[in-house]
Chain A
Amino acid sequence: MSARRIVITSGKGGVGKTTTTANLGAALAKRGHSVVLVDTDIGLRNLDLVLGVEKRIVFDLVEVVEGRCQVRQALIRDKRFESLSMLPAAQTREKTAVSEEAMVRVIDELAEMADYILIDCPAGIEHGFRNAVAGAREAIVVTTPEVSAIRDADRVVGKLTERRMPLRLIVNRIRPEMVKSGDMMSVEDVCQILSAELLGVIPDDEEVIDTTNRGEPIVLDDTKRLAAIYMKIARRLEGELVPFTNLESPNLLKQFFTLWKAG
């Protein structure tokens, strides 16, 4: 089996790439797929932390590339999802320790072991970005509805388009009440500016910080609204046409106004 290889990128840091990688990966695993998550943020790794596997790291990406271990030895299997594993980045090295060719070799090898490979890209558009993109065949661009994030996402969309890589957009941290009051750009605004197809819309949710603190991806808890949203994104990724949810305001009065879309 040869996996789908998807890089999750953004340009701007802190918009939710790692959280998205972890939760989307977990959602796909929940749906029965075998998934490998790859952290390419060498020197500033965090995917292990978000997944809660930081104490179980033995080998890392750089050691795999340098031939000091087999890729299977470096993979950490998630204890909560049978079919989910991750390849951690090195912490005390630099991104230049790995070349694009080496990344392609590693991803090629992983592709024989899974249905999906999600590659967590670091912030920026330099070496780390090029490494992360090297092994991918499609991209998910994550942005928030803020000027700086959209500008950086635009840059990344440009770079991906140069490589003819199909890409889709996730708009993260949308605050419907701020969109309504005109203090935040809407999802439509963002898609129009970036000219990208929408894969998902994720509302701002304070639960994310808590789940990261505990190393428990939010997808683990079916009662959380973000869990449902990530599951829908997973289904869209599989190819299903899932309509975007209308997020109704809990305030009855506001139901007279436009319902905001999310999902």
Chain B
Amino acid sequence: MRAFETALETDPAVAPSAALRRGRAIVITSGKGGVGKTTTTANVGAALAARGKRVALVDADVGLRNLDVVLGLESRVRHHLLDVLEEKVALETALVRDKRNENLYLLAAAQSREKEDVDTVQMKALIAQLCETFDFVLIDCPAGIEMGFKNAVAGAHHAIIVCTPEVSAVRDADRVVGLLPADWRPELIVNRLRPDLVRKSKMLSVADVNDILRLPLLGVIADEPGLIVATNKGEPLAYDAASTTGAAYRAIAARLDGEDVSAPTVNTEVGLFGKIGAWLGGRA
């Protein structure tokens, strides 16, 4: 990677321009942990691959990797992100092909290292390299806004914010949006919606969440116990034709792929927002 870094730093002609770049690099982030970033990365990636796109998934959660497990690929991981960045192994060697779809590849995180072992220059170069051969590069961001977040964002061109309809998650998502490059227009996925609770005014609605975040809505995923089973087995629901959650992920993939899919309507637009009030500070 050092030769790559030096080249990028000193020779502008080497840096891939937008015209040369084939792929879109999208970071999937949230701030709050446990809202479904990894599940989203796996499922949207699988759905895009099912549409015939070449997709690379990058697990940036160094030290606490889980994208491999959600995809059911943990037994195939031989090398990881840091092996590539430290030039111990070629990128092609480290990429693990998905069991079910030959268009989908995974670059696993290192488990026995720390997020501080990676820097943003290295990540930019790596993502740029991936964008040369893949249509989509999805980067699974760890929780938080520290080095792990910065690394995951570096090199990406676009962001998807995953947020659950809970006050803590919305607050953290808002913070993250404020930390992304100013010219980005991140899109929102509202995850783990419980329409029954929204109806009873016990949960924020999608409208409530987006009244605060004000982002283009990419998709809404309702809570489903089947997701736990899917992770148990390592079989993303996006591959399950019968799953409504899978269908929601496939719709998100279609939208990302440029298709004009109408946003799913959730018949529970009753807002709770008025009671929550303006407890959010500024995004500074």
CB neighbours of A185 from chain B (8 A): 232
Q: Which of A186-212 contact B (CB under 8 A)?
A: 206-207, 209-210, 212
Known: A126-B148, A128-B144, A152-B66. A49 touches B168 (CB 8 A): yes
Shortest B60–chain A CB gap in Å is 12
Q: Which of B241-282 contact A (CB under 8 A)?
A: 272, 275-276, 279, 281
Known: A14-B33, A55-B279. A183 touches B228 (CB 8 A): yes
Most buried by A among B168, B197, B272: B168
B residues with a Cβ closer than 8 A to A are 31-35, 38, 63-64, 66, 69-70, 114-116, 142-148, 166-168, 171-172, 175, 194, 197, 202-204, 225, 228-229, 231-232, 272, 275-276, 279, 281, 284
A58 CB within 8 Å of chain B: no
A2 CB within 8 Å of chain B: no
| Option from B66, B171, B229 in Cβ contact (under 8 Å) with A183 | B229
| Option from B143, B175, B204, B279 in Cβ contact (under 8 Å) with A49 | B279
A11 CB within 8 Å of chain B: yes
- Within the assembled complex, what's the spacing in Å between the Cα atoms of A206 and B284? 33
| Option from B172, B194, B231 in Cβ contact (under 8 Å) with A44 | B172
A123 CB within 8 Å of chain B: yes
- Within the assembled complex, what's the spacing in Å between the Cα atoms of A14 and B163? 12
Do A124 and B144 touch (CB < 8 A)? yes
Do A44 and B175 touch (CB < 8 A)? yes
| Option from A44, A54, A146 in Cβ contact (under 8 Å) with B32 | A44
CB neighbours of B142 from chain A (8 A): 123-124
Shortest A159–chain B CB gap in Å is 10
- Within the assembled complex, what's the spacing in Å between the Cα atoms of A56 and B279? 11
Q: What total of A-B pairs shows CB separation below 8 Å?
A: 130
A18 CB within 8 Å of chain B: yes
- Within the assembled complex, what's the spacing in Å between the Cα atoms of A12 and B148? 14
Known: A44-B172, A125-B63, A126-B115. A146 touches B231 (CB 8 A): yes
A161 CB within 8 Å of chain B: no
Most buried by B among A15, A54, A124: A124
CB neighbours of A214 from chain B (8 A): 275
CB neighbours of A249 from chain B (8 A): none
Do B202 and A206 touch (CB < 8 A)? yes
Shortest A98–chain B CB gap in Å is 12
A69 CB within 8 Å of chain B: no
| Option from B114, B145, B197, B229 in Cβ contact (under 8 Å) with A209 | B197
Do A124 and B143 touch (CB < 8 A)? yes
Do A148 and B175 touch (CB < 8 A)? no
9 extra interface residue pairs, beta carbon distance < 8 Å, beyond A155-B63, A175-B225: A13-B34, A44-B171, A94-B146, A128-B144, A147-B232, A183-B225, A184-B232, A213-B202, A213-B275
Known: A44-B144, A44-B145, A123-B144. A148 touches B69 (CB 8 A): yes
CB neighbours of B231 from chain A (8 A): 146-148
Q: Which of A119-153 contact B (CB under 8 A)?
A: 122-128, 146-149, 151-152
- Within the assembled complex, what's the spacing in Å between the Cα atoms of A35 and B144? 27
- Within the assembled complex, what's the spacing in Å between the Cα atoms of A123 and B115? 13
Do A46 and B64 touch (CB < 8 A)? no
| Option from A92, A125, A147 in Cβ contact (under 8 Å) with B64 | A125
Shortest A112–chain B CB gap in Å is 31
Known: A49-B171, A148-B70. A13 touches B232 (CB 8 A): no
Bits for A28-50, please: 1 = Cβ < 8 Å to B, else 0. 00000000000000011010011
